Amino acid sequence: MTFKAHRQEEILTDKFNRVIDYVRISVTDRCDFRCVYCMDDKMQFVPRAQLLTLEEIAKIAQVFTELGVKKIRITGGEPLIRRNVIKLFEYIGQLPRLGELVLTTNASQLTKLAQPLKDAGVKRINISLDSLNAEKFKRITRVGELDNVLAGIAAAAAVGFEKIKLNSVILKNRNDDEIIDLVRYASDRNMDISFIEEMPLGIIGDHDRAEAYYSSDQIKNDLEQFFTLVATTKTTGGPAKYYKLAETGTHVGFISPHSHNFCDQCNRVRLTCEGRLLLCLGQEHSVDLRKTLRAYPDDMDKLKQAIRDAMLIKPKGHDFDLTEKPLIFRHMNVTGG
Ligand code: SAM
Ligand code: SF4
């Protein structure tokens, strides 16, 4: 069975009885940054004609909520550089069965878009920030301007989202000396912070992932020299394990696909900007929803059935190994991190 009635509302389950109630939607694979762990510096982007239109994304999002999805995250690439994307936020924000509309961004557009996002119903945002040093920030993002990002974070704080969480990827010898500063920056602003272990998605010519690997356990150990970490049961419906800093009350999360596999609790699927439904971040299993949508533009039942059927091929889990050539050839910006 791929679905069952639940208080007259459908819910999506996979063949391992995991309930799928969270969808991450990549609205573009393009980005104004070129982070070394995410993209090659000579990235080939998807031709525009192959992208889902905003209207198509809106339809798919609506159908997912009718199938029981409660949480939608808009991501990319950099989602906020897609033209007219605020219209999509406004549409999804008013879907009656949706519990939560959230966003992941690099903050480069937030000085102008923080308020429209809040008005559209976005409650929580995740902001990627790997360094507080302008030079190192540029080295990691290849082109990003730290001042603009910090101004974007300040703008987001000023409009009053319910929660802002920072995401940092720590790379050995690049920014591993900034862990404490990043945590202090977050706690001073009443923000939470999560550290994400780098995942081997796509080949990146000038970046050695195995050499740059810095584990969650190492980060935790570094933090323990300055803070008391108290384990919590906090969850945001994601794979992060959270600790609370006794000194500041800040929640610090660790997303550790290598050191602590989280697949048995997986509740999510991902939609790429081309309309491919990815059933697992670390596997290639996918279903082409764009094909169904374009073949039957006025029949949402066909789309619903394609999504239910897709649940049957959701794999049990991933098996990342940084020392091997990547098994997954799509980059994170295509995947929708
Ligand atoms: N551009 C937005 C941003 O940077 O927040 C949204 C998309 S980005 C792909 C989403 C998240 O994925 C970011 O926090 C980024 O640090 C993370 N990410 C990208 N490539 C990664 C990789 N290979 N391993 C782990 N995290 C990665
Ligand atoms: Fe762009 Fe986000 Fe990837 Fe950095 S991590 S290149 S900001 S999509």
Spell out a b/e string for 177-200, using b for 16 or more CB atoms within 10 Å of the CB, else e.
Answer: ebbeebbbbbbeeebbbbbbbbbb
Could you say which ligand is closest to the alpha carbon of residue 34? 2
For residue 334, what pLDDT is reported? 62
Q: What is the pLDDT of residue 318?
A: 67
Question: Which atom of ligand 1 has the smallest separation from the CA of 38?
Answer: 20
Task: Kindly state the helix (H) or strand (E) to which residue 245 belongs, with its residue range.
Answer: strand 241-245
Per-residue confidence (pLDDT) for residue 321, from 0 to 100 = 55
Point out the ligand nearest to the CA of residue 26. 1
Q: Which atom of ligand 2 lies at the shortest distance from residue 38's CA? A: 3
Q: Whose CA is nearest to atom 12 of ligand 1?
A: 337
Q: Is 293 in the pocket of ligand 2 (CB under 6 A)?
A: no
Q: Is 241 helix (H, G, I), strand (E, B) or coil?
A: strand
| pLDDT at position 198 | 87
Q: What predicted TM-score, i.e. pTM, was given to this entire model?
A: 0.91
pLDDT in tens, the chain (337 residues): 444 444 568 999 999 999 999 999 999 999 999 999 999 888 889 998 899 999 999 999 999 999 999 999 999 999 999 999 999 999 999 999 999 999 999 999 999 999 999 999 999 999 999 999 999 999 999 999 999 999 999 999 999 999 999 999 999 999 999 999 999 999 999 999 999 988 877 767 667 787 888 999 999 999 999 999 999 987 766 677 899 999 999 999 998 876 556 678 889 999 999 999 999 877 778 899 999 999 999 999 999 999 999 999 898 876 655 555 545 556 666 666 5
- Cα(297) to ligand 1 centroid in Å equals 32
Please give the Cα distance from 312 to 326 (Å, whole number): 25
CATH number assigned to the domain with residue range 22-335, chosen from the 4 options 3.40.50.80, 3.40.50.2300, 3.40.1260.10, 3.20.20.70: 3.20.20.70
pLDDT at position 1 is: 42
pLDDT of residue 284: 73
Query: Closest Cα to atom 4, ligand 2: which residue?
Result: 35
- End-to-end Cα, the chain, rounded Å: 29
Rounded distance from Cα 241 to ligand 2 centre (Å): 23
Domain ranges of the chain: 22-335
- Cβ of residue 257 lying under 6 Å from some atom of ligand 1: no
Q: Is the CB of 75 under 6 A from ligand 1?
A: yes
| Sign of the alpha-carbon dihedral angle for 191, 192, 195, 199 | negative
